[in-house]
Structure 1
Amino acid sequence: MMQYDCAIIGAGPAGLEAALTLGRARRTVIIFDNDTNRNKVTREAHGFITRDQISPSTFRELGKRDLANYSNIHYMNATVEAITQSNGSIFEVKTKEKSYHAKRLILATGMHESYPEVPEIQLFYGKSLFSCPYCDGWELQDKPLIIIADGDEHALHLTKVVYHWSKELMVATNGYPISNEIKEVLKHKKIPFYEEKIKKLHGDDGYLTEVELKSGEKLKRSGGFIAPLFFRANSFAQQLGCELKSDLEIDTDILGRTSVKNIYAAGEGQELAPSSLILSAADGYKAAYGANSDMIEEEF
């Protein structure tokens, strides 16, 4: 059975960049992906120089096309079901159909998100409701927006950031109470806030026009931002013994090395926090550089 130099789990910007960097370093690479990337609901991605306004699906296809130029990089459209390590060295990556072996492992699985508990909110997410002002604030600048968050602290943080792009804001915590301290901050900035549950979002084809509260009051809004909760779609890092910081972030050094030898982490799944395409790609490059440097030292 073929033994790869490195197996990469996840083909988002971090995984794709890691595969390209290792491939160009003359390493045999196998990268696994099951098309569950978090940003697939977004029509356009922004902030990556030369790729501004690109769709996530196009970005991935261009990345896969780059990898196809290298015969030593193998792309697998498959879900990884388990990863084990034998004798503290070789990794066995198992899919439903087959097992693969590699000397190094890069975890670039990204993360998933759960939305505030608002009926059919997912129909608007990625079209007129977003989670990152740095990604989508430009398109919503100066428009009447709403901040939706299940909790006042998340709402306040997001409001502070979005306020830079639009002063015409409302805050809805969807049934969660707002502390008096935060109420005073919002009042000072003349930002209306609503604690009652959201009954329904109104709009056409995912483009928001009104937010209807449980009382029946309707708030006219053109879009907004939500504060989702983030989680890993798998527990590979924990199962393999990688140390975590605060039960969230995988503990790594600057080159993505985890606490377990020969395991590296990159991208959003490393910090369990949203990131941009360009930062995730940079993480992938650094993890690949770390893995290749370690192999060079070992082989010399």
Structure 2
Amino acid sequence: MKRRRGIRVIIFDCIILGAGPAGLSASLNLGRMRRNVAIFDNGTNRNRVTHESHGFITRDGTTPAEFRNIGLNELTKYPSVTYFNRTITEVSRDEQAGIFVIETAENEKYTAEKIVMATGIQEEFPIEAVRNFYGRSIFSCPYCDGWELRDKPLFVIANKEEQVLHMAKLLYSISRDLYIVTNGTQLSADCIRELEKHDMRYNMEPVQALHGDNGNLEAIEFRTGEKVTRSFGFVVPSFHRANPFAEKLGCNIAETGSVITDGMGRTSQSGIYIAGETQKAGPSSLLIAAAEGNIVAGSVNMDIATEKF
């Protein structure tokens, strides 16, 4: 540790941004290789509103908070891994020193030879009121929450026709009582025929309000005044990265919005790696994100080993 002009500067082999499944997995595997690692997180993970996480074998039904705590506790076995509950405000490269500089909201600076971006993504909803019910009665992933809602009357909020058909097909095995809400988007005749063929009702009017209390939905009200009683359903959000670090650091971005990598987590910028939903700028399962964290840890460790051998 060094001190410079009153600001604490700590040098690490690798700094990992984000303590989701990708960041935790990368930290674990780098710690096992005795790399000096710092993992930063501020608790704004998007699944924090979820009551149970599903689909991760041996952890099915675990709450996101419990999953995170188990991961952080496992890291304490490895003395070279340090966890910081901090908000990262800036990430830059010191070209002269050949290191990365991480700045926090607490006016601290940390430096590292490598960085892994695993800060995840955040949702934007077609109807902002969805946020009041998200994680309790409105969900976005049929794989994560569909089983618990099996055979219940459900709705789908999606404002693009391809999203309507995608969700209708996915949820048809969960419930045959589906009500499609497009919030003002007009569906094509072909799409309507597909829905009607499967006895799915639909409403293309804009939504006026969502009624309910304490996260429990009771009804959807349309601008026409019509109300449809539903207690559970799914929404198709759009997603964005929680920060612009990849763009500011000059990483190549594909037209799809994903960060271009070599398939092993290395970005177009030397020393910068990425894993999990941050890379795709889209949703992923806990299991896949953790696997990608494992892969990127191997890349970071091998690069360090090669450089220092």
Identity, in percent, stands at 46
The CA deviation at 1:52 is 0.9
TM-score, normalising length: structure 1: 0.96
State the secondary structure of the residue aligned to 2:239.
Answer: strand
State the secondary structure of the residue aligned to 1:249.
Answer: coil
Letter in 2 for 1:176: T
Structure 2 unmatched runs, 5+: 3-9
| Residues 1:259 and 2:268 aligned together | yes
The CA deviation at 1:65 is 1.0
Aligned pairs (5 A) from 1:32-51: 32-51=40-59
Counterpart position of 2:76:
68
State the secondary structure of the residue aligned to 2:111.
Answer: strand
State the secondary structure of the residue aligned to 1:210.
Answer: strand
Aligned pairs (5 A) from 1:153-168: 153-168=162-177
Q: Is the Cα–Cα contact under 8 Å of residues 45 and 54 in structure 1 kept in the other structure? A: yes
Q: d(CA) in 1 for partners of 2:173 and 2:113?
A: 47
TM-score, normalising length: structure 2: 0.93
| Residues 1:125 and 2:134 aligned together | yes
Counterpart position of 1:215:
224
Structure 1 unmatched runs, 5+: none
Letter in 2 for 1:101: T
State the secondary structure of the residue aligned to 2:180.
Answer: strand
Q: Deviations over 1:232-270 (max 9, x none)?
A: 111111111111111510111222111111111001111
Q: d(CA) in 1 for partners of 2:273 and 2:39?
A: 14
Match of 1:200 among 209, 228, 232: 209
Q: d(CA) in 2 for partners of 1:148 and 1:87?
A: 48
State the secondary structure of the residue aligned to 1:159.
Answer: helix
Q: Is the Cα–Cα contact under 8 Å of residues 32 and 78 in structure 1 kept in the other structure? A: yes
Counterpart position of 2:237:
228
Counterpart position of 2:16:
8
The CA deviation at 1:72 is 0.8
Q: Is the Cα–Cα contact under 8 Å of residues 254 and 286 in structure 1 kept in the other structure? A: no
Q: d(CA) in 2 for partners of 1:204 and 1:99?
A: 43
| Residues 1:143 and 2:152 aligned together | yes
Q: d(CA) in 1 for partners of 2:148 and 2:217?
A: 14
Q: Deviations over 1:103-131 (max 9, x none)?
A: 1110001000111225x321211011100
Match of 2:199 among 180, 184, 190: 190
Letter in 1 for 2:229: K
Match of 1:98 among 67, 91, 108: 108
Letter in 1 for 2:103: K
Q: Deviations over 1:131-165 (max 9, x none)?
A: 00000010011111000012222222111111121
Match of 2:60 among 52, 77, 98: 52
| Residues 1:77 and 2:85 aligned together | yes
The CA deviation at 1:166 is 1.2
Counterpart position of 1:26:
34
Q: d(CA) in 1 for partners of 2:168 and 2:299?
A: 38
Counterpart position of 2:6:
none
Q: d(CA) in 1 for partners of 2:205 and 2:194?
A: 19
State the secondary structure of the residue aligned to 1:225.
Answer: strand
Letter in 2 for 1:3: I
Letter in 2 for 1:232: R
